[in-house]
Every structure is written in structure tokens, then in C-alpha cells.
Amino acid sequence: MRKPPWARVALLLFLGGALYFAIQGGEYSTADIVRQFVAKRRMQAEVDSLQRLVDSLGKMLEAIETDPAVQERIAREEFGMVRGEKELLYRFAEPDSASGR
């Protein structure tokens, strides 16, 4: 016995719907998985960048704590200190306009 034409169309629609649901349906669709993959790569790149920053800051901290040349440079640049019998230089700055002095 031959099936009616609408049954064949209905079967094709059902199979097409099942295939669509298999690809796009469920908890995460294919588009969601692709977005998650892109977000993961972006976050991994950010983590790698931050890890390099932490590593360089760790090296800088170690140099500040242990290297006398770095300590002297910071003392000179940040605090205006000099070593030994060197000439002293004074820097005069304009008064702060917010304080009114």
C-alpha cells in the first residue's frame, strides 16, 4: 500500500525539525558554543597578558628589594636623595592653587 503524499511531507518536516533541534536545540545551540569558544579565547588572552604583567612586577619588586643600583636610582628619582659629597640641587615648585598658599 502506498503512503499519501502529505505523509511523506510530514515525515520530511519531522526529520528536518529533528535535525535542526540536534544542531541548534538543547541547552546550548551551536551559536552559543561558538560564542563561548570566542569568549574563552578572549579571556585566555587577557589572563596571559595579566600573567606577564604580574611576572614583570614580581621581577621589579625583587630588583627593588635586592639590587642596590635600582634602590639608588629610585632614591634619586623619587625622593631627590643624593649619595656622598655630591652637590645638592633644589627644585622649587609653584604653590598648589587648590590650597590657596
Enumerate the domain spans of the chain: 5-79
Mean pLDDT of the chain, nearest integer: 85
Q: How many CB atoms lie within 10 A of CB 67?
A: 11
DSSP single-letter state for residue 4: P
Instruction: Check the CA dihedral 38-42-43-44 and report its sign.
Output: positive
Average pLDDT of span 78-85: 76
Average pLDDT of span 17-29: 79
- With a cut of 90, say whether residue 21 has pLDDT above it: no
Most confident of 26-30, 33-37, 83-87: 33-37
Average pLDDT of span 70-80: 86
CB neighbour list of residue 72: distance below 8 Å, 6 or more residues apart: 83
